[in-house]
Structure 1
Amino acid sequence: MQVVDIAPRTEGDQRSRFRPSRAAHSVWVLGEFVRQLIQFKPQIVHCSTSYRWGLARDLPMALLAKASGAKTILHTHGGDFHRFLERLSEPLLSLVVESLRLLDCIVVLTYEVKTALENEYCLANVMCIPNFIDTSRFEPEMVKNGKKIAHKDDLEAVFIGWMIEAKGIFDAVRVLARVPGWNVTFVGPKPNDDTEYRLMALARELNVATRMTVLSAVPRADIPAILHRADLFLLPSHREGFPISVLEAMAAGVPVVATDVGAVREMIIHDVTGFVVPLGNLDKMADAIQVLVKDPVLRSKFKKEALKLVKDKYDRSLVTTTIGDLWSRLAGS
């Protein structure tokens, strides 16, 4: 099997928004895709899309592949594709749904999305395949400098992600002020605005600046060690797709407290591998963190169950085998 990858690679701010530069690049990608179709005449085309603006490029690519005679898969990377469809105007929604119906397979990340597409739009070509990680990277023996570094006896929490307001970082600081006995480290790339300044100003106003640390983006290779130094992973996002950071935290044996957005409710088994709290409910988030601060036995239980879940369901070897089986089935049909 020959695999040709022409996925666009972009640097910098990855927030979902329209930009003329991205639109121009998408036109180039579309032209390159047509050239590859003509040159390689593939039997299977697997198109990944983040939908939203990306779908305007990726769905036509999938339809072109189908028209060329290839078996075609559209792989949606996000936990709320059905919500995206709900926001489309009626003419555009009909066009998108009928286009999806022409494809051989639509891959979604959660069973909630699969059920919605089947029941609300009568799509029969939907398959659920979650995102995955290489769990072996997070085994203790594979991690260097992973020894816990704590402020006295306080619990150490970590947030890993874009340092933007939509990730709930200001909510994290407000909750930090409500619950004693823990500290938080923010790790991730920062936008070119005043977000960090406002975050630190809020921390000083709430008298928690000494209990938080803000780090810049770190190499992916350093993430396992950072997680192994933590007792808790915090993801207070206002919106998410399928956050890989949650899988990485579970693979490192770190209990997760996250808001109920995107695919989070399927990734975390509430009160078994972590806590899922309602979006915007800081009281519930504070309660969840306070429980974990006070109960090391529960943290140990969550760690054990999270490790089992991520290895049984989200390990790279399992998910890539499923994708390979899908390719083989389509190639033989």
Structure 2
Amino acid sequence: MSRRLRLFLLELPPPMHGMTYINKIIYDDINKDPNILVFKLEYGGNIDDIGKKSIYRILKNLISMLGVWSVFLLHRPNTVYSVLSATNFGIVRDFLNLLPAVVFGIKKTLHLHGFTYFDIYHKSKIYRTIFDILKKNSKFIVLCDKQKKIADGLFGINSFILPNCLRENAKAKRRDKHNEYLKLLYIGNISKAKGVFDLVKAVCLMDNVKLTIAGQVWTDSKEFELLIQNNAEKVNFVGFADENLKRELFASHDIFCLPSNLEEGSPISIIEAMSFGMPILASNKGCVPDMILRCGFVFEAPISSDILDNAITYITSNYEKLSAASLREYEGKYSREVFIKNFKELLCVQY
């Protein structure tokens, strides 16, 4: 009897972002399985280049496509796993990669990271046509219940929920919040769309609250620099945070903030904060409400000083309960062990 072979098409870091972070976790678990074949998609570039087109990147995509085709033809896998892109350029690339699976009727598991799919599906005929071709003989993985409801209704599918996770469990326990003043933390990409500018302005209007920001400035860097300089007593910008610095920041701050104006997927930063037992203060965007319903405060973006004041009052009044809930949510839904177990179970679900 011939063995059943699964093919995984995985884009791995660099660049490091939510999707490649999760792909690396999957790769580390499956790469030694004799029944699994991994093809590493090497598109190159930095995180700033995501979504940008160039001759170099197009050539890299074509080389990867030819490599994928050769794997299909030589090994004839029974199933294939791939993340789907949420751009016109990306979906064409993904379609070409998966064309042998479409032609030969190979079953597909397609992973949808985030909410951008829905808007482009409505607006782009090219995207909609390709997506509808790919969805045949496929099962879909999404990040949360909200995404599942939209995806199932719009695409006519029955998707499976698999939240993101952390590569490593935190080795720290929560301590009580500060008594002198409250320490807020934001870690992530810095832009107006992420709500960081509004958060700084809100914090500066409040007493006994300080904010630390870590990350890479994506847009309006001069304005952000001036904003930080003018509010240095209230806001500390530490730049990019490696894993060691992030652990120090999570362990030494009281509340994690994600004031995004964008539809978020399943942010790794929130999961990291949960693993340290931090209550979460975040906007009602994407999967965030599903994630922090029991361990934080959800508000309607954009954030303001009044919203921040109400959120802090609620969180400080329920700090121990929310901190304990964060740890429970992490251990029950977002640990690596839970993710891998659920992922493998989903792969075995019948099409």
TM-score computed with the length of structure 1 as normaliser: 0.83
How many angstroms apart in 2 are the aligned matches of 1:84 and 1:181? 43
Aligned to 1:314: 334
Aligned to 1:298: 318
Aligned to 2:160: 127
How many angstroms apart in 1 are the aligned matches of 2:161 and 2:292? 17
Matched, 1:200 2:235: no
How many angstroms apart in 1 are the aligned matches of 2:307 and 2:74? 54
How many angstroms apart in 2 are the aligned matches of 1:92 and 1:61? 16
Aligned to 2:348: 328
In structure 2, what residue type is equivalent to 1:213? N
Instruction: Report if aligned partners of 2:114, 2:147 keep a CA contact under 8 Å in 1.
Output: no
Structure 2 residue runs of 5 or longer lacking an equivalent are 1-34
How many angstroms apart in 2 are the aligned matches of 1:173 and 1:218? 19
Aligned to 1:106: 140
- Cα shift readout 1:273-302 (whole Å, capped 9, x = no counterpart): 11111122425532344315xx64412211
How many angstroms apart in 2 are the aligned matches of 1:242 and 1:64? 31
Q: Aligned-pair distance for 1:15?
A: 6.7
Q: How many residues align?
A: 314
Instruction: Report if aligned partners of 2:92, 2:130 keep a CA contact under 8 Å in 1.
Output: no
Aligned to 1:273: 295
- Cα shift readout 1:149-199 (whole Å, capped 9, x = no counterpart): 97x8211111111122322111111111222111111111234x751x312
How many angstroms apart in 1 are the aligned matches of 2:77 and 2:306? 51
- Cα shift readout 1:94-146 (whole Å, capped 9, x = no counterpart): 4134224313212111222222232233224x222121125x621317xxxx9
How many angstroms apart in 2 are the aligned matches of 1:275 and 1:296? 11
- Cα shift readout 1:10-66 (whole Å, capped 9, x = no counterpart): 453347532314444323322222122233332221101342243332243234324
Runs (4+) of structure 1 exceeding 6 A deviation are: 146-150
Alignment match of 1:219 (pick from 222, 242, 245): 242
Structure 1 pair 289–63 and aligned structure 2 pair: CA distance change class (3 A): same
Percent sequence identity over aligned pairs: 21
Structure 1 pair 219–25 and aligned structure 2 pair: CA distance change class (3 A): same
Q: Aligned-pair distance for 1:247?
A: 0.9
Aligned to 2:203: 176
Q: Counterparts of 1:1-333 in structure 2 under 5 Å? A: 1-8=35-42, 10=44, 12-14=46-48, 16-20=50-54, 21-52=56-87, 53-86=89-122, 88-89=123-124, 91-92=125-126, 94-124=128-158, 126-134=159-167, 137-140=169-172, 153-191=180-218, 195=221, 197-205=222-230, 208-239=231-262, 240-269=264-293, 272-283=294-305, 285-291=307-313, 296-329=316-349
In structure 2, what residue type is equivalent to 1:132? C
How many angstroms apart in 1 are the aligned matches of 2:97 and 2:78? 15
Instruction: Report if aligned partners of 2:281, 2:298 keep a CA contact under 8 Å in 1.
Output: yes
Instruction: Report if aligned partners of 1:74, 1:103 keep a CA contact under 8 Å in 2.
Output: no
How many angstroms apart in 1 are the aligned matches of 2:44 and 2:212? 27
In structure 1, what residue type is equivalent to 2:163? P
How many angstroms apart in 2 are the aligned matches of 1:223 and 1:248? 9
How many angstroms apart in 1 are the aligned matches of 2:85 and 2:245? 26
How many angstroms apart in 2 are the aligned matches of 1:106 and 1:252? 31
How many angstroms apart in 1 are the aligned matches of 2:241 and 2:153? 42
How many angstroms apart in 1 are the aligned matches of 2:223 and 2:177? 27
Measured on the aligned residues, the alpha-carbon RMSD in Å equals 2.8
Structure 1 residue runs of 5 or longer lacking an equivalent are none
Structure 1 pair 220–62 and aligned structure 2 pair: CA distance change class (3 A): farther
Aligned to 2:30: none
How many angstroms apart in 2 are the aligned matches of 1:94 and 1:17? 18
How many angstroms apart in 2 are the aligned matches of 1:309 and 1:148? 19
Instruction: Report if aligned partners of 1:257, 1:288 keep a CA contact under 8 Å in 2.
Output: no
